[in-house]
Amino acid sequence: MIVTPRFVFLHLHKSGGTFVNAGLMQHIAGARQLGYHLPRSMLPAQYAALPLLGLVRNPWSYYVSWYSFQRSRPRPNALFQALSNGGALDFAGTIRNMLNLERDTALLDRVLAALPAAYINQGLNLPSVALAPIRGSGLGFYSFLYRYLYGPDVTAVRLARMEQLRAEVPPLLESAGEPVTSALRDYMSTAPALNTSEHAPHRQLYDAELAQLVAERDRLVIERHGYSF
């Protein structure tokens, strides 16, 4: 998370946060980073009264981005290794496991055993104790992360959509009382994207069954933010 004198920016995994983090750190006086991908529940008490800001992404797009990024790495993370059966499963098989994690007891136990026991402030930074509550939640992985990061009362967090990040973040900052300088506005408009991966448009990677499974498991995010396949 990024703490500034006027607001807190919470960094949801693979939803444009790396790009926004860099802009805030470069262009807002007094901005500082606290941990990495830490949830709202870990915000120090002295910042609790500040406005909370964040980003959200189309869940169908999220899973494609996550899979493509991990598949391209020389050493994919422990979550990918467990969900993909050591890289043996394709996109559909891996993401189906990810979406069914909340109800597949044996798979979840293997994933939890593979994750770190504590926060490590790099990568996904999701220790086993943080993921364990997904069990029986009825949520897809992205919706679980969304609720975990922003809290159950997510309406208290002001969110911009990653798909419209360049246009929506400046007014989001202004809504929290942060003057948007010309330098920050230029950054949001023209700076190159960060932490991206190459992949086909997300619609090309889903069959009808898997697309429907995302619709069911990630209904929380899809309905709240008006996303569609």
Cβ neighbors of 169 (< 8 A, separation 6 or more) are 20, 23, 160, 188
Domain residue ranges of the chain, discontinuous segments joined by +: 2-57+152-190, 59-142+199-225
pLDDT on residue 194: 86
Contact 2, 9 (CB under 8 A): yes
**Tens of pLDDT, residues 91-150:** 999 999 999 999 999 999 999 999 999 999 888 999 999 999 999 999 999 999 999 999
Average pLDDT, the chain: 96
pLDDT value for 200:
75
CB 37 within 8 A of CB 11: yes
Does 203 have pLDDT greater than 90?
A: no
Q: Is the per-residue pLDDT at 9 higher than 80? A: yes
- How confident is the model at residue 195, as a pLDDT? 73
pLDDT at 198: 72
Number of helices (H) and strands (E) in the chain: give both, helices first: 11, 5
Query: What span, in angstroms and rounded, lies between the C-alpha atoms of 198 and 62?
Result: 13
Tokens found for residue 207: 């069959």
Amino acid, res. 10 = L
Model pLDDT, residue 202: 82
Residues 6+ apart with CB under 8 A from 107: 82, 83, 97, 100, 101
Here the tokens at position 113 are: 């055993």
Give the residue-averaged pLDDT of 59-70. 96
pLDDT-above-70 percentage for the chain: 100
pLDDT of residue 199: 76
Strands 157-161 and 52-56: parallel
pLDDT at 122: 87
